[in-house]
Chain A
């Protein structure tokens, strides 16, 4: 058994870390404050190949392994969780299903520009009344000749207003329930497509989540992704991979909280000595370090399973459940280590705390992860 990364993975970590610290670090607090979408740095991430990392070279990607991808999302999220999710969505929820289910024409037309960073994608599954119950889709696609007429709306869609391409889900046959859901590739400049309210959120404020609205939107039949009626399966399989990305995001946030805590504990003096000398603080540090290490092993294991083409539904769910949980704990305790200062915007730990919360919610709540894990184990 080996616990070491290979040379490429180490260089990915170094490169992602340097990019994140030098290019994203200086704007992370600002985009959190203003909720501005960081167009330039997202573009640069794309140019460097971080937006389609595991896509093979012939389709515009870098042909990297899934562990390297995990490391990159972790490193970017360690500096800015908003960039982390923007990147995770494009890689996991957009490029991956196009690669897995797309026709050659679809890959040529859509995957290449998405993987090489020319375009940004979003993934539209969630609806106002279809959250955890993702099968209850109200968006409807009616076939008319060689096209589909789509009506409906989506909410909380990451990258929505910035995306040029959307992977969306709609009911092509309501009578069949989840077997009546189909997946479509949509150019966001298609007439009838619009984005609505942009959410004003607690955390990940430098990423954008918005409504998608479809009004008599005509989509040619060649933009059906996979077979008609297979959309729910595509969504679930895609989310398995997406969860690895979110687990990495949580891991990166937790790591950042830990590092800030160590730094502050050594600097801050009370009762005439650094607070790191007090056992209360030492225990926080020990807990964080131990839990982060455990989470990292779970997260890399899930990525490794995906890389090695082993089943990863359960390992990805475990990784996301655990990593998001310890990210909440690490960021909460990081504020505790910082005391009153940690509650202010003078230090980044309050941002980490707000950013961490979403990792317990999106791409399947913690409770859904447990359902997935138990459901698979008790089959």
Chain B
């Protein structure tokens, strides 16, 4: 089973600070990491490969330094690395990005595509589903468990807010996975050596994937950002003081005032 995993390099938002004046992320000095959900996608692909054979290709679109995210995936055990790197891709929204990734996926070839649910920098969760639409593939999103993947079909459990769905799809298909699906392995020391010293990243430009210039980058992006801002900070919390019964009384009164309880 040949699997493509889409990987995004993102700023480590656990470390991120917002510039209070401009309302934008302060990216300086913030380490770049493999998007956390994507690590689960890589792990699931590696497990399927271990079971069914085949090859895992990690695919990313980004500047040259995004190659580090691919190398980390390779150190975990991915076979091939493909980076889509071209100024023509810059400024892409999720529509253009998913189109671009889809074109590259066609060139690589696959039985299955796995994406993380969403990236921690954009939080859109749109790339996976949009890629499936571009490629006309069945999609199973929010996968929390891959039950089976043989006989040309894949069966997954799809997490919902109040339960789960068990969904079967024909292969080729596209999955987006959530963090419950598995525990990603650590890169091995040998894997790190191989990723940096022995393996090459295949870099493709827009021309390499025969991308239609009207569908990629800023020009191919139907959405545009009007304004970005930090949400208003919430008001100060209030600490109730007094004995337990006094505090409870105050709390109930306040909750009734706000119509939380009647």
B71 and A11 contacting across the interface, CB-CB below 8 Å: yes
Verify if B108 is at the interface (C-beta below 8 Å from A): no
Verify if B189 is at the interface (C-beta below 8 Å from A): yes
B196 and A49 contacting across the interface, CB-CB below 8 Å: no
- Tell which of B71, B72, B187, B189 has the most Cβ of chain A within 10 Å: B189
| One of B68, B187, B197 near A15 (C-beta < 8 A) | B187
Known A-B contacts A11-B71, A11-B72; the reply to A64 vs B193 at CB < 8 A is: yes
Cβ contacts B102-117/A at 8 Å (1 or 0 each): 0000000000000000
Verify if B21 is at the interface (C-beta below 8 Å from A): no
Verify if B226 is at the interface (C-beta below 8 Å from A): no
Verify if B213 is at the interface (C-beta below 8 Å from A): no
- Shortest Cβ distance from B197 into A: residue: A8
**Majority-rule SS of B interface residues:** helix
A19, B71: Cα distance in complex, Å: 18
| One of A6, A18, A53 near B189 (C-beta < 8 A) | A53
A343, B75: Cα distance in complex, Å: 42
A50, B192: Cα distance in complex, Å: 12
A15 and B186 contacting across the interface, CB-CB below 8 Å: yes
B68 and A49 contacting across the interface, CB-CB below 8 Å: no
Q: How many residues of A contact B (CB 8 A)?
A: 20
| Residues of the B chain whose Cβ atoms lie less than 8 Å from the Cβ of A15 | 75, 186-187, 189, 192
B186 and A8 contacting across the interface, CB-CB below 8 Å: no
Q: How many residues of B contact A (CB 8 A)?
A: 15
**Majority-rule SS of A interface residues:** helix
- Tell which of A6, A48, A50, A57 has the most Cβ of chain B within 10 Å: A48
A48, B191: Cα distance in complex, Å: 9
| Residues of the A chain whose Cβ atoms lie less than 8 Å from the Cβ of B187 | 11, 15, 48
Give the Cβ gap from A23 to chain B, nearest Cβ, in Å: 8
| Residues of the A chain whose Cβ atoms lie less than 8 Å from the Cβ of B193 | 8, 57, 62-64
Give the Cβ gap from B172 to chain A, nearest Cβ, in Å: 32
Interface residues of B in 200-250 (CB under 8 A from A): none
Sample of 7 further A-B pairs with CB below 8 A, known A11-B192, A12-B189: A8-B196, A15-B192, A48-B186, A48-B189, A49-B191, A57-B193, A72-B189
